[in-house]
Amino acid sequence: MKVKHLLQAGLWLGACSLVVAQTTPSPAPRPAAAKPAATATPAAKPEQGRTLSLGGGSGGGALLSREELRACLNQEISIRTRLSEVEAQRLALNSEKQALAAEQQTARDQRAPVDAAKAQADGLNARVQAFGARVKDWTARVEEFNASNRTGTWADRQQRSLEKERLEIEKDRAALEAERESVVALHQQAVADYNARIGAVDARVSEWNVRNAQLNDKAKALEDERAGWVTSCADRRYREEDENAIKAGK
């Protein structure tokens, strides 16, 4: 009997890693300054209001407000935490998948009693067919004897021989019937035991497939959220002073 394949592959999460917010970001490129005049001039003041981006690039769109930045940082932590959980669940499911595959193979290997019972049944069927041919031949000879209407010593001897053969046939019929009942019971029990083992594994495989599909959906939703975070958070710039204020609990 065939067992369902464990063929539902999980979503590969390697591409889901998030860009980490820089704790010691490099300064953004300064605007190009005009060439100094020949005469000495006072040194330029340090750049004020430096901006950074969670993605480490130039960013785009409007600057994140402090509350938007706070929400982005919290969402990043949440995504990274859930990503780790999904990856751990994926490892556990993959390990369980290997164990289920081993159980499937073990269950298939345990069908030897079924095969043995079938071989025994096939042997019995062959003897039953031979017995049927024997009965048919005996019946034909009885009919031929009765149709001959012969009497005398030969007829008496032939009648006794046919009667003796009938008793032997009845004895063999009873033995075959008893063996048939034994073989049928043995075969039914072997099949029932095998089906119970296969059914138990099949139930676990089906349950694994449900959990695997749920994890795939969860990973897909997390990847969609991560992609949205990149667009709305990582690709936009923010003020360094806002980041410092958030770290200070403001």
Output the six-digit token pair for 124: 């019995």
Which residue, chain included where needed, has tokens 């001959």?
A: 148
Which tokens belong to 103?
A: 């159980």
Domain presence at residue 94: yes
Range of the domain at 182: 59-247
Q: How many domains does the chain have?
A: 1
Domain membership of residue 232 (yes or no) is yes
Please report which helix (H) or strand (E) contains residue 141, including its range: helix 112-148
For the beta carbon of residue 236, count every other beta carbon within 10 angstroms: 20
pLDDT value at residue 57: 65
In a domain, 10, yes or no: no
Q: Note whether residue 33 is domain-resident.
A: no
- Classify residue 84: in a domain, yes or no: yes
Full pLDDT tens readout for the chain, 250 residues: 332 222 222 323 333 332 323 333 333 333 333 333 333 333 434 445 788 888 776 667 789 999 999 999 999 999 999 999 999 999 999 999 999 999 988 888 888 888 888 888 899 999 999 999 999 999 999 999 899 888 899 988 999 999 999 999 999 999 999 999 989 898 888 889 899 999 999 999 999 999 999 999 999 999 999 999 998 898 889 999 999 999 998 8
Query: Residue 7 domain-assigned?
Result: no
Give the ranges where 151-235 is alpha helix by DSSP (H). Answer: 153-229
Q: How far is CA 64 from CA 111, 117, 178, 237, 239, in A?
A: 66, 76, 89, 6, 8
- Does some domain include residue 54? no
Q: Give the per-residue pLDDT at 21.
A: 31
Dihedral of alpha carbons 45, 48, 54, 58, sign:
negative
Within a domain: 182: yes
> pTM here?
0.57
